[in-house]
Chains A and B, each alone.
Chain A
């Protein structure tokens, strides 16, 4: 097991190094000079040169990369020129907002996707299977941006049952004392119920949008895993032994389906941390997605690099955790 974990850690480090090089090169070969945007309309060549110097853009690329690596080792990802703040501090402030979205949408997606996927897979080809599969296909094919706008239109503009899509809390509502940074959790822990309700009301639309898209892969995997598992010898044996359907589902099916779902839930969660850019943009959700969106529009190199690195790091860590859990659940993996 130790060798397995060591191998996975090594692979993770190599992956992150690869990402580092790629991100650095890609962002530096994007067209345009961010120093010109930052220096402004009145800037003369001297001011532009000073700005390039301040942003470190006047140094040779290998030197910039070396500085960049050294900075990362010290958790210094540079300063965003959009916000004037260190990127690490920007990401730290915004990450809880994105995590809150990812967490709640994944919980909603799992609570809906797994039961319906299993329910559908137990009777493949039946009417309920056709309906559930249809919903999964529909969910997969929905463009996130379009879905977000529809949700916004229905719940905010027409029904008027949710607060304005302008952040995590209503104007002038004070955030709860920071414990996790997730307002919904922190407000419960501190017993601040009016803030909790406000936070939940603000979460409703973005969580719904993300959950609809997220449910589809979970539902599909749960369904196909159920079909596969239900055809195995041990299920047939369990039935022959006279175990009830519920016992079979609880003791044999869900455990085996869970192994496969572990991967998909992990991947979806990782995707949400990076893929929430569009949803955050639509609902003005002040997370790392909106931060990345604004950074990309203005060639805010340090911010873009920081965002990609954070997502890559999260993805790598999630994959590592899933691999290790997988190995625990299924011993065949660690010896493969």
Chain B
């Protein structure tokens, strides 16, 4: 009898699902009618009408590898860091369609109760939020801000790149004026600052514990933060934390704004197979499933009890043509390829409609994006003519590499192969492991490969800097070098005049359209798949979901 009561209590408290309850109750010998009566009684008491917060269950597509906010890490690890740490400022949100929350470009204080920007746009002053503490109870002070920004600038990880873009190059630019005031002085006025300051790599960390955990070889306590969480965010590491399996985030009892958290915690289950996540979502054993490929999303379009929250995204997908390898150094060959690809087919057969053609290196949705200059549609005659002009009337042979971990890229490659074959270009598709793919890419051995890019900062020059700048940028995978583009990017990066910035950006886009070092394919939508009863889905510039708003009826 006590087992039955503990089972019913578990169901009432949302610790087990209805399915588990039914299975276990049957094992205890209860009749089906008795079980169903108990289910009815238990679930009616957990309805939203009682005001009880529910625990959320999310299926992850990647595992958690590293929890240091300033390290490069898996998507799952970023998700956890975002829920458990906070920045001084974040984007303001507004209600979107279907009960969603959408981040705007405006900033609001989070760990900073307020902030001001000097008239010349160089000095940012943050007032520390009174009462905010780390999850161990240590108060957040201006020293915490200063330590964290210094760590970003000088410590491990790649946050230094963000600091560089903010034009912070020296620790003297970071100053705790008093216990509650922190000030940063930029190298120059910076139109990207408002887009970079809310990035999660600039999370606030506890200097006291960091210094306690630091060692001679690891003075920023990187080893400690890789596996421990000590933030100020709405959640803390929960009692269930099983590597490779499941991770519980529980509401932070010391959180400064507890009313913001609409659920009683989130259990993250690592389920590597997308088919399994799909099945569990359909069966009601997950509230949300992350990382479902378009093929799975298409299966969910008409599924009962499932909602797809679809947001346009600045996600850019393209074919890289390596200009170090002939004949891709010839602009006519690149243009010929651009005219040979089946763009509409890719949207229909690879993305199943969850996306749109990408027609500018500054993706649609980004300020100054201009699609009008992109001339390339599928035009095989024009493609053949360009190939003839380039000295390849009968085409040529090459290879197209994809990473096996990105299933959609493999499908895209097949359609590209077919499109190019129509103009005589015979390509072999190479499916490579992630490690092999990156190694061959780094060694300059891949003539053509499929890549994607997503700029966390919604800024055209941020995007073009990483994709097209020729010097000291290792993400310019096509090795594209055009002094005009370099100059336009340099002029536009820190230009605070909006109309000049727009003009410079459009000039760069026009040159890109002519040179096509990357063959633009599509912008894949940002889609979150979940059960119908889930509300509070949010979309931020970094496309990581904020769990605090999630609830279910």
Contact = CB atoms under 8 A, between A and B. Distances in A.
B72 interface: yes
Interface string A163-200: 11111101111100000000000000000011001101
Contacts of B240: 172, 174
Nearest to B282: A157
Interface in B407-451: 432-442
Interface string A31-58: 1111011111111110110000000000
A130 to B, nearest CB: 37
B276 A32 contact: no
A42 B243 contact: no
B505 to A, nearest CB: 22
A62 interface: no
A158 to B, nearest CB: 11
B434 A297 contact: yes
B271 A40 contact: no
Contacts, number: 182
Contact of B433 (A82, A94, A174, A297): A297
Contacts of A224: none
A234 to B, nearest CB: 47
Contacts of A201: 20, 23-24, 27
A164 B240 CA distance: 18
A33 B435 contact: yes
Interface stretch (A120-128, A245-253, A286-294): A286-294
A160 interface: yes
A34 B65 CA distance: 14
A83 interface: yes
Contacts of B242: 93, 167, 286
A149 to B, nearest CB: 9
A303 B5 CA distance: 43
Interface string B137-175: 000000000000000000000100100000000000000
B374 to A, nearest CB: 24
B14 A172 contact: yes
A42 B475 contact: yes
A97 to B, nearest CB: 8
B474 A45 contact: yes
B24 A43 contact: no
A81 interface: yes
B272 interface: yes
A64 interface: no
B158 A43 contact: yes
Interface in A54-100: 81-85, 90, 93-94
Contacts of B270: 284
Nearest to B441: A36
B23 A163 contact: yes
A172 B272 CA distance: 20
Given A47-B158, A166-B285, A294-B272, A193 B3 contact: yes
A165 B10 contact: no
Given A83-B65, A160-B19, A281 B10 contact: no
B16 interface: yes
Contact of B405 (A168, A293, A297): A297
A299 B3 contact: no
A5 B15 CA distance: 52
A174 B239 contact: yes
A51 to B, nearest CB: 9
A284 B272 contact: yes
Interface residues of A, number: 59
Contacts of A320: none
A147 interface: no
Interface in B517-553: none
A241 interface: no
A147 to B, nearest CB: 16
Given A39-B72, A166-B285, A299-B435, A194 B7 contact: yes
Given A40-B158, A84-B65, A164 B16 contact: no
A151 B453 CA distance: 39
B320 to A, nearest CB: 13
Given A166-B269, A172-B14, A40 B72 contact: yes
Given A32-B432, A299-B434, A164 B10 contact: no
A162 interface: yes
B433 A84 contact: no
Nearest to A287: B244
Nearest to B242: A286
Contacts of B57: 171
A140 interface: no
B246 A33 contact: no
10 contacts: A32-B438, A82-B63, A83-B63, A83-B64, A83-B244, A93-B244, A284-B245, A284-B273, A294-B63, A294-B272
Chain A to chain B: the 9 pairs with minimum beta-carbon distance, closest first? A32-B435, A32-B436, A40-B72, A299-B435, A36-B438, A286-B245, A164-B285, A172-B15, A33-B439
Interface of B: 3, 6-7, 10, 14-17, 19-20, 23-24, 27-28, 55, 57, 59, 63-67, 72, 158, 161, 226-227, 239-240, 242-246, 248, 267, 269-273, 276, 279-280, 283, 285-286, 404-405, 432-442, 453, 472, 474-475
Given A32-B439, A93-B244, A286-B244, 12 more contacts: A31-B436, A31-B439, A33-B435, A82-B63, A83-B243, A83-B244, A167-B246, A170-B16, A281-B273, A284-B245, A298-B435, A299-B433
